[in-house]
Structure 1
Amino acid sequence: MTEAQTKPSLLTQMGGVSGMVYAGLPSVVFVVANAAADLRAAVMLGVGAGAGIAGLRLLRREPLQPALSGLLGVAVGAVIAYRTGDAKDFFVVGIWASLLLALVFLASILVRRPLVGVIWSALSGSKQTWRTDRTALIGYDIATLAVTAVFAARFVVQNWLYSVDATGWLAFARIAMGYPLMGVALVVVVWAVRRSGRRGAAHPADA
């Protein structure tokens, strides 16, 4: 068995799909708690949820990276909000991170290295042979543009809600524009991945 076959892919090291879901749960808990109670309760429950998930994954001997990233994200947002005394400041980091990610994904298209293709190759442990196939490359360009649109939409909508102090709607937008909106973009991503896979199967010498 080769090293490539024995070495776990990045997706496996991240804990699979469930690991990525766990990474976002503490933020969801913070948003719901703030809407139902107050900022103090939201901080305690959000950070507590992140710590609880990390502890559970530790007991199960599962990868801690997704749990720790979720805990770090909610902790940073919670500290900022608690120090300013304004719940809407919990979303500041996420808002500007969306703009940064939109620019990074867009730039990757311009330099002909669409990040969706690069990331998928890393997650699946496969090579980037698709970069030599113009049709597959265009597919990943389209998928990367879809993800760019998601991040750009998050920034535009949430930054506007932040500017008008609509904290309740900002919380709703955080959830609605999270997994559901990204799920729409993932439909395009799956299309691009399958398109590239079919191209590779049609040209085994290149793959």
Structure 2
Amino acid sequence: MAIKGKEVIEEMSLILSGKSFDAVFPSLVFVLINGFYGLNTAIFSSVGVALLFCIIRLLSKQPFYYATGGLLGGLIASGFAYFAGNASNYFIPKIISSAFVFLLSFTSLLMGKPLAAWASHLTRGWDLKWYWRKDVKPAYREVTWIWTIFFLIRLVLQISLFLSGNIIGLIWLNTLLGFPVSIIGLVPSYIYGSWRLHKLKGPSVEEYLEGIEAPWKGQTRGF
């Protein structure tokens, strides 16, 4: 089944709604300012930038989910760095977050309820029972394995850079492999999942809900 580029972009927009730059830029400010003016100035600058983004989005009535996330994350991260007096500690919350997501993804596989299925259900609102069919679930299980490996690699790299005190490496890693950029990086898993779902020859969500018997057309849009 061919997956069109336009379709991929439209599907990703369901997840990447908002100003993702708002969540990434405060961390960049922290690293740059810390290198020139020290830890305290870096903390105030990054939190100030995050707060400014929130105010701008709010006044312009634009989505401010990522701006709020950037502010809250920045406050927590700054607390770790300030009380420890170590700029590297700014990234401890991100490491904890990576560990949590990895464990969540791996645990979902052990329980037979893959994370990719839950993510799709929460995003699209499709009937949850449909995901657990034997001619549907394998696609979501395999995609969850891809996610789990990705999350594990990110976690290992984060811990390695943190222990070595490589702040520049941490900021680049969290920018390139962090949310929401990681979602874009996982586009291949969406393409694979859609292809695999088609190969399983199970019913589409609509066919399942309407009780249509095989042979089915299958899910032709979305994953």
Measured after TM superposition, the shift of residue 133 of structure 1 is: 3.0
**1:136 and 2:136 are equivalent in the alignment:** yes
Secondary structure, aligned partner of 1:57:
helix
Q: 1:33 to 1:156 in 2, by over 3 A?
A: same
Q: For residues 106 and 124 of structure 1, do their structure 2 counterparts lie closer, same or farther at Cα, with a shift above 3 Å needed?
A: same
Q: Aligned partners of 1:149, 1:30: CA distance in 2, in Å? A: 29
Q: Describe the superposition over 1:57-93 as per-residue Cα deviations: whole angstroms up to 9, x where unpaired.
A: 2112234433212211111111211222211000111
What's the CA shift for 1:152?
A: 1.2
Q: Quickly say closer, same or farther: Cα 1:45–1:64, change in 2 above 3 A.
A: same
Q: Matches of 2:57 and 2:128 in 1, distance apart?
A: 32
Identity over aligned residues, as a percent?
A: 24
Structure 2 residues without counterparts, runs of 5 or longer: 1-12, 210-223
Alignment of 1:42-121 (within 5 A): 42-121=42-121
* Larger helix percent: 1
Aligned to 2:184: 183
Once the two structures are TM-superposed, the CA of residue 32 in structure 1 deviates from its matched residue by: 4.0
- Scaled by the length of structure 1, what TM-score is found? 0.78
Q: Which residue of 2 aligns with 1:40?
A: 40
Structure having the higher Rg: 2
Gap runs ≥5 in structure 1: 1-10
Q: What's the CA shift for 1:102? A: 0.2
Equivalent pair of 1:88/1:167 in contact (CA under 8 Å):
yes
Cα distance in 1 between the residues matched to 2:39 and 2:154: 23
Indicate whether 1:206 and 2:208 are aligned. Answer: yes
Equivalent position of 1:7 in the other structure: none
* RMSD of aligned alpha carbons: 2.9
SS of the residue corresponding to residue 113 of structure 2 reads coil
Which amino acid is the alignment partner of residue 65 of structure 1?
Y
Cα distance between partner residues in 1 of 2:80 and 2:49: 18
Query: What is the TM-score when the length of structure 2 is the normalising length?
Result: 0.73
Deviation of residue 186 (structure 1)? 3.2
Inter-CA distance 121–29: structure 2 relative to 1 (3 Å threshold): farther
* Count of residues paired in the alignment: 195
Secondary structure of the corresponding residue to residue 89 of structure 1 = helix
